[in-house]
Structure formats: structure tokens, C-alpha cells
Amino acid sequence: MSGNKGTSNGSNTQMMKIENGADGYVLEDVPHLTDYLVGLHTYPNPLRSNPAYSVVKQYFVNDDDTVPQKVVVHKDSPRGTHFRRAGPRQKVYFSSDEVHACIVTCGGLCPGLNTVIREIVCALYHMYGVTRVLGIEGGYRGFYSRNTIPLTPKIVNDIHKRGGTVIGTSRGGHDTMKIVDCIQDRGINQVYIIGGDGTQKGAAVIFEEVRRRGLKVAIAGIPKTIDNDIPVIDRSFGFDTAVEEAQRAINAAHVEAESAENGVGVVKLMGRYCGFIAMYATLASRDVDVCLIPESPFYLEGEEGAGQDLLDKDLSSGNERDASGNKLLADNGLWISQKIKDHFARNKLSLTLKYIDPTYMIRAIPSNASDSVYCTLLAQSCVHGAMAGYTGYTSGLVNGRQTYIPFHRINEKQNHVVVTDRMWARLVSSTNQPSFLGSVAIAKAKEEEHPPTQLLDGENCNDEKY
């Protein structure tokens, strides 16, 4: 293979590590400590003598194993973009007694955070014999303004049964120099960062500063967002749990609506700018008559727009933002509920409307079985990568395989529901709701390049890019 390097777009300065092979093969590789540190000592992987792995026929991943981003191809199409396959390597770049690891959680809550924390700690202890692991309290600012929590298998043993995060979280507080100073002063050499796209952008900047200082520190991320809006990966942990719990709210609204004359149930689900939870919960419940998502503009009494667009026109909403830089959004569930009430009042009709917002109940619950298994795979893959000397990467599932993805690919854009994809068509046919898209809008949407909706589909295959 031949290699070439370039820089990524935007403010992220992470160097792109790309290798090209035959038949259009492209490997978007992740950085390695040896890229900027010469003469690093290697050690045999402790898993060689681990009783749990003694019966596994092939427990080391071949260094050349990669995973394709696109699995639906034509016989003459190029092999396309690949990512490095995650898993244990035969040689590691840290001795067990040398490792001083830390874990930090940032941003909003999500089912599965404690499971990820637990499995990182247990993987380090039980697979690699690492005994020094710290929990950084309260998000990024915890590196320089809060205490740390020692984490051992005994301490984290039961935390997966609880929602939230035992080490706390917060938005904002990212001061690169102070964070890296803390990492350096404490002698930390493995940093596991759990958070969404904003958190992973911060992790990328931390990695760049660590590399600039020439520190032997592996920076590894695990993508977290309940909204499932992180690109490239199949899904984010906590999403399955959120969809499952959202069905309970939909069922409650359905029962209320069915039990009253002119009954209407309105359920507001999470998804700041994307409608994955709403779409999948609707398809799973089969009790929804109309599903409104940010990606699909809808008509409301002659006005066109998505929920926040119409609401902003009504309320003249400002541009206030939270500590992470996200725009503070008004409650469009309450707003549309009031619009329905006004419509019934104008037409002199009785109405029984029940409005349910389960947002914080869903975020705060423990992960379900599916997400718990997924959290385990993400955490163990992340640890294997750091021990093998990889850095500046996110551990993620691509086409059903655990991979290491460069930070810039996770941070370059947000994932959205594609309203010209089969998945949204399935929903519209299931609910029998209007598509709200006119002929001009449909033509425009089809001209735009979109990836297929992730998680289930993969049938929508655009040769140009995906």
C-alpha cells in the first residue's frame, strides 16, 4: 500500500492518515504513538497468559484487518473507505505497571454510561493487569478543578445497574492547556473520554496538544449520544434503550387518547436536530398517527417549516446557548399541544389532550440488555486500542464490526434521518400520515447527496460518496 497524509477540514487540525491500495481501497487510519515517538519499547500482550482467553482459537487481531464503511457494492465499484479493525494485538506499548489511566464523562446523560465506565475498568484490571485507574469528576473541568475517584473492579461492580454516571458530568469547561497540564502532572498516560460530538471534538484537541508536547499518552474516545446523530458508526450506545422506553410513553398517550372523547395524545421525544428516536419508536409502537421530526418540514395551518422554525416565528426565540454551545430550544411539544387546543376551540369541539414528555426519565435509566452488551464491546475495544499504542481515535461499530475511527470523521458532521430514504418511507406508510413534501421539495431532496439512514437499512446505496 502507498500512504499519503493531509489535513482535515475546519478547525480540527488532526492529520489525516490515509493509505491507498489496489482496486480503490482506502484506509482511513488512526494515529499511533510511534508516529511521533521513536524507539518505543513493546511488550507481549498479557492476554497470552490470560485463562479466559486460553480456549480462543484466534484472539489477536491481524494488524492488516480492516472494516469497510460501505458493504453494499456493485461488482465494478471500488473497494472504498475502510477503518482499522478493533481488538487485541500481539504486542502492546504499555507495561501493566506503567499504565495510569483515567476516565471522564462529558455532556448530557445517556443510558449505559456506568456500564462503559465499569467495563473499561474491568478490562484494564482483568485483561491487562492495570491497577491504577482514576475517574475524573464532573466532565472536562474536573481535570483541573475537582477531585478524582479511584476506580477498581470492586468499586464499579454494581454501577451498571444504575442510571447516570458515578463520576459525574457537565457541559463545557474545556481548557486544553489546563487539561493536558493535569494529565502530564499526574503522570496519566491513557485517557478514556466518553461523550458526544462536542466532547469528541475536545478530545481531538487534547490529542493534538499531547502530540505537540511529545507525551506518551493514548487519547481514546467512546461516542455517546442518545440521539444517535454521530456519523459513520452503526448506532450510539443508549439508543436502543431510549427507543424501548419511548414506547412506554407512546403507549400511555395512546391509552389516554383512546379512552376519551376526542382524545389526543402528544409525546415529545429527544432529538435536538434529528428524529431517530421518534422514527424508530413510532415504527416499533405502531400506535402513532403522525410522527414529526426536525428533518421533515411540515405544514401547520398554512405555514411550512419544522417544529423549531415555526415555534421561533411564534415566540421570536433568541439565540441563547448552553455551556456546550448548543442553542437552547423552546419546548415545541407544549407549543404544538397549544396549537391543537386552539384549533379545536375555534371549531367549537371538545378536546381531551394529554401531553407527555419522558425526556429526562429516558436519559436517566440504566441500559437495556442490548445496549449493555454493546457498551461492553465498545469499552473493551477501546482498551485494546490504547494498550496497542493507538491514539486519537474513537471506538465504534461499523457494519457490525468494532473499529477505530479517526476523531475528525466523527466530528465532521451530524447524522440525520434521510427523508428520501426507504426507512422514512416505511414510517409514512405505517402511520399513513402526509409526507408534507411537495414535488419541488422531493426533487431537490433527491438531488442532494445523503448517506442511507443508519441502523437498519443500507439499501440506499449512493455510489458517489457512500
Catalytic one of 29, 197, 227, 371:
227
Side-chain-side CA neighbours of 441 within 13 Å: the count stands at: 12
Strand partners, 404: 84, 395
For 432, counting Cβ atoms within 10 Å of its Cβ (0-12 exposed, 13-18 middle, 19+ buried), the class is exposed
Q: CA-to-CA distance for 238 and 439, rounded, in angstroms?
A: 37
Residues 6+ apart with CB under 8 A from 267: 246, 249, 250, 253, 333, 356, 357, 358
Task: Report yes or no: 227 and 274 within 8 Å, Cβ to Cβ.
Answer: yes
Q: Any catalytic annotation for residue 227?
A: yes
> What does the DSSP assignment read for 48-87?
GG-GGGTT-S--S--TT-EEES-----TTS--EEEEEEPS
DSSP labels for 136-150?
ETTSTTHHHHS-EEE
Q: How far apart are CA 27 and CA 69, in angstroms?
A: 10
Rounded to the nearest angstrom, the gap between the alpha carbon of residue 135 and the centroid of all alpha carbons in its chain is 21
Q: Are 181 and 175 in contact (CB under 8 A)?
A: no
What is the rounded distance in angstroms from the CA atom of residue 168 to the CA atom of residue 162? 13
Query: 195: helix, coil or strand?
Result: strand
Give Cα 163 distance to the centre of its chain: 17
Q: Quote the CA–CA distance of 281 and 227 in Å, as a whole number.
A: 12
Rounded distance between C-alpha atoms, residue 394 and residue 196, angstroms: 11
Q: How far apart are CA 204 and CA 207, in angstroms?
A: 5
> How many secondary structure helices (H) and strands (E) does the chain include?
14, 18
Contact status, residue 86 vs residue 402, Cβ threshold 8 Å: yes
225-259 b/e (C-beta count within 10 Å ≥ 16 → b): bbbbbbbbbbbbbbbbbbbbbbbebbeebbebbee
Active site residues: 227
